[in-house]
Structure 1
């Protein structure tokens, strides 16, 4: 049951909700070299062999821009935005 196509589809649906919230929360540096790249780099995908024991459907939300971790966790000069963390918290409530 944990790997059924319906379960995989539900996990992907939930990931899409979180992705939508993340896009809405994403900061855009209009004066920067790549305005909107971070916001446009959110992706989702699901697999049927996920989890620690590889026995369940899982879905992933990630940002493919090279500087995504700096936006999420911050640097010495830039504060952390925690976009994915906040999106998971908000999106999890809206499902």
Structure 2
């Protein structure tokens, strides 16, 4: 006799919001953040904000994230006011893609 499986959407929803999944998302966010900190540029001798970008990384997590607010998620962000230009670059400064490279590491 073949085994049968019936999907319980409610059960899958509980799993996706469970403390176990949230803890894993937080662990991965910490790993991505550690990689981002290691890759962060610090600035040169004339930089008035040397090290600010590197010190501005922070993780955040929630059990109600995602597009439908139905799963645990974790986010890594940089709160430095110029973080966007470090990541994507400008016409005068090359893009560093710190968060992109850190996320590609997978946090695993």
Smaller-chain TM-score bracket: over 0.9
State the Cα distance separating 1:82 from its structure 2 match: 0.2
Residue 89 (str. 1) matches residue 107 (str. 2) = no
Moved over 3 A (4+): none
TM-score (norm 1): 0.95
Superposed, which structure 2 residues align to 1:44-59 within 5 Å? Answer: 44-59=59-74
Gaps of at least 5 residues in structure 1 are: none
Q: Which residue of the partner structure matches residue 33 of structure 2?
A: 19
Q: Which residue of the partner structure matches residue 50 of structure 2?
A: 35
Q: For 1:11-50, what per-residue CA distance to the aligned partner results, in whole angstroms no more than 9, with x for missing partners?
A: 0000000000000000010320100000000000100110
Q: Which residue of the partner structure matches residue 95 of structure 2?
A: 80
Q: Which residue of the partner structure matches residue 4 of structure 1?
A: 18
Residue 61 (str. 1) matches residue 76 (str. 2) = yes
Gaps of at least 5 residues in structure 2 are: 1-14
State the Cα distance separating 1:5 from its structure 2 match: 1.1
Task: Tell me how far apart the structure 2 counterparts of residues 19 and 89 of structure 1 sit (CA, whole Å).
Answer: 12
Which structure has the greater CA radius of gyration?
2
| Equivalenced residues, count | 93
